């Protein structure tokens, strides 16, 4: 996620700040002696956009959960947390000061233009920064239409600024910086609650008509004798005479799902490596939501 924010910031600055024309002028490495050498060899003004800190934004925290359905499974997903990315943006000139050249003035001018662009762009909107339909191929869908909370030049500044420059080594002088904060979501993998059992009545005429059909989505968990779920188990639903109807494989949580089964009696045949095979007779619709199989 953070790398996409980095690239978006670089794109924003290059596309809207004068004198910045390519990616070599906006980089994210520490502003230490190696960076100074890089700028000198670059022979052009450059911006250092350094991520100095990550903090959870507790004001935006919520414990809300959302329920969704995927492939017949009921999923529960915790609402995203929010993390503040703290950047320090500094401007650098490759020129050496002398009586005719004062590179610090050029750095200040660049820093001012960067501040103006960042202030005008808050909150950051990826779809507007890249242009609708022009997002990078791997850009996270969660961010595509988002409005990312942004703070530019806060009143209290960056509280550990002196300490920060003290860690850069060499004789790096203290220099002005733009303190930029971008808030991004942190998502979590959903939890499987279990299969959804859905009964759909279709037909013409009265409910008791002979052409009514019941279609059901079923699922269950395959476990070993200790009760632990078995991932990668082979599951086949077949008719009582052994004709295959549907085949599935258990997930990492040992769950399987099968959909679109007309009402009737079936066999659930399960094979697990090293444990052999188990067969269970099932009725659809049944008295239970889960059709579990245990290798006891």
CATH of the domain at 236: 2.60.40.10
Q: How many domains does the chain have?
A: 2
Q: Which two tokens stand for residue 86?
A: 């703290």
Answer yes or no: do 48 and 141 share one domain.
yes
pTM exceeds 0.85? no
What's the pLDDT score for residue 204? Answer: 46
Domain that holds residue 167: 2-59+82-186
- Confirm if 104 and 92 have CB atoms less than 8 A apart: no
Phi first, then psi, for residue 230 (nearest 5°) are -110, 110
What's the pLDDT score for residue 110? Answer: 92
Answer yes or no: is 73 within a domain.
no
Q: Across the 296 residues of the chain, what is the mean pLDDT of every consecutive 10-residue run?
A: 92 91 92 90 92 89 70 68 92 83 88 94 90 82 86 86 79 83 84 55 47 63 90 90 87 83 87 90 75 88
What's the pLDDT score for residue 115? Answer: 94
Answer yes or no: do 201 and 86 share one domain.
no
Answer yes or no: do 101 and 9 share one domain.
yes
Instruction: Specify the 3-state DSSP secondary structure of 24.
Output: helix
Instruction: Specify the 3-state DSSP secondary structure of 201.
Output: strand
Beta strand residue intervals within the chain, DSSP E: 26-27, 46-56, 65-70, 73-78, 81-92, 150-152, 178-186, 191-195, 199-202, 213-223, 234-238, 244-249, 255-262, 264-272, 276-284, 293-294
SS (H, E, C) 104-172: HHHHHHHHHHHHHHHHHHCCECHHHHHCCCCCCCCCCHHHHCCCECEEECCCCCCCCHHHHHHCCCCCC
What's the pLDDT score for residue 161? Answer: 83
Q: Which of 119, 127, 123 is nearest to 143 (CA)?
A: 127
Answer yes or no: do 165 and 204 share one domain.
no
Answer yes or no: do 109 and 221 share one domain.
no
Answer yes or no: do 124 and 265 share one domain.
no
In 10 A of CB 194, how many CB atoms? 16
What's the pLDDT score for residue 205? Answer: 46
Instruction: For residues 140 and 95, give the distance between their C-alpha atoms in angstroms, rounded to a whole number.
Output: 39
Instruction: For residues 114 and 97, give the distance between their C-alpha atoms in angstroms, rounded to a whole number.
Output: 23
Answer yes or no: do 122 and 8 share one domain.
yes
Of the residues 186, 214, 238, the one at which a domain ends:
186
Q: Which of 283, 287, 193, 292 is nearest to 235 (CA)?
A: 292
Instruction: For residues 92 and 60, give the distance between their C-alpha atoms in angstroms, rounded to a whole number.
Output: 35
Answer yes or no: is 74 within a domain.
no
**For residue 123, is the peptide bond before it cis, meaning its omega torsion is within 30 degrees of 0?**
yes
């Amino acid at each position: 996620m953070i790398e996409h924010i980095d690239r978006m910031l670089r794109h924003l600055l290059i596309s809207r700040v004068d004198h910045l024309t390519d990616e070599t002028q906006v980089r994210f490495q520490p502003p230490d002696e190696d960076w100074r050498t890089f700028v000198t060899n670059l022979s052009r003004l450059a911006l250092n956009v350094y991520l100095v800190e990550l903090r959870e934004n507790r004001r935006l925290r919520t414990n809300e959960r959302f329920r969704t359905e995927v492939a017949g499974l009921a999923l529960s997903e915790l609402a995203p947390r929010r993390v503040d990315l703290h950047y320090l943006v500094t401007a650098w000139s490759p020129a050496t000061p002398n009586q005719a050249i004062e590179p610090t003035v050029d750095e200040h001018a660049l820093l001012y233009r960067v501040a103006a662009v960042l202030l005008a762009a808050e909150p950051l909107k990826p779809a507007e920064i890249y242009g609708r339909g022009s997002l990078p191929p791997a850009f996270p869908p969660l961010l595509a239409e988002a409005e990312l909370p942004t703070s530019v030049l806060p009143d209290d500044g960056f509280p550990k600024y002196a300490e920060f420059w003290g860690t850069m080594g060499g004789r790096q002088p203290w220099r002005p910086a733009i303190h930029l904060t971008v808030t991004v979501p942190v998502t979590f993998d959903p939890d499987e609650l279990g299969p959804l059992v859905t009964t759909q009545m279709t037909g013409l005429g009265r409910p008791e008509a002979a052409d009514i059909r019941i279609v059901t989505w079923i699922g269950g968990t395959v476990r070993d004798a200790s009760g632990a779920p078995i991932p990668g188990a082979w599951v086949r639903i077949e008719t009582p005479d052994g004709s295959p109807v549907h085949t599935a494989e258990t997930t990492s949580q040992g769950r399987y799902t099968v959909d679109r089964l007309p009402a009737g009696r079936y066999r659930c045949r399960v094979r697990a490596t090293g444990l052999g095979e188990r067969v269970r007779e099932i009725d659809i619709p049944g008295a239970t939501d889960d059709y579990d199989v245990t290798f006891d």
